[in-house]
A = this chain, B = another copy of it.
Amino acid sequence: MKQKITLKHIARELEVSISTVSKALKNSEEISRDTKEKIQAFAKLYNYKPNNIAISLKNKRTKNIGVIIPDIVHHFFTTVFRGIEKFANTKGYNVIVCVSDESFDKEVINMEILANGSVDGFIMSLSSETQLKNDYNHLKELIEQGIPLVLFDRVTDAVECDKVLINDKDGAYRAVKKLLENGRKKIALVATEDYLSVSKNRSDGYFQALKEQNIKIDKNLILRLPSMNSVEGNEMEEFFKNEKIDAVLCVNEIYAIHGMRIAQRLGYKIPEDIEFIGFTDGILSKFSNPTLTSVAQHGEKMGEIAAEMLIEKIEIENDVETYRTEVLEPTIMERESTIN
Contact = CB atoms under 8 A, between A and B. Distances in A.
Contact of A72 (B60, B81, B94, B289): B81
Contacts of A283: 73, 254, 284
A73 B79 contact: yes
Interface in A56-112: 59-60, 64, 72-73, 75, 78-79, 81-82, 85, 89, 94-99, 101, 106, 109-110
Nearest to A291: B261
Contacts of A47: none
A27 B261 CA distance: 60
A99 B99 CA distance: 13
Say which size band chain A's interface belongs to: 35 or more
Contacts of A64: 113
Contact of A97 (B59, B82, B96, B101): B96
Contacts of A101: 85
A261 B287 contact: yes
Contacts of A109: 94
Contact of A59 (B1, B72, B81, B113): B1
B289 A264 contact: yes
Copies of this subunit: 2
Contacts of A89: 106
Interface in A225-264: 254, 257-258, 260-261, 264
A1 to B, nearest CB: 6
A28 interface: no
A254 B96 CA distance: 27
Nearest to A258: B287
A52 interface: no
Contact of A261 (B59, B257, B289): B289
A73 B75 contact: yes
A137 interface: no
A32 interface: no
A118 interface: yes
A98 B85 CA distance: 10
Interface in A265-321: 283-284, 287-290
A236 to B, nearest CB: 13
Q: Which 5 pairs from chain A and chain B are nearest by CB?
A: A289-B289, A97-B97, A257-B287, A72-B78, A73-B78
Given A72-B81, A72-B82, 7 more contacts: A73-B82, A85-B101, A94-B98, A254-B287, A264-B289, A283-B284, A289-B290
Interface of A: 1, 3, 59-60, 64, 72-73, 75, 78-79, 81-82, 85, 89, 94-99, 101, 106, 109-110, 113-114, 118, 254, 257-258, 260-261, 264, 283-284, 287-290
21 contacts: A1-B59, A3-B60, A72-B72, A72-B78, A72-B97, A73-B79, A73-B283, A85-B99, A94-B106, A94-B109, A94-B113, A96-B96, A96-B98, A96-B113, A97-B97, A113-B118, A254-B283, A254-B287, A261-B287, A261-B289, A284-B287
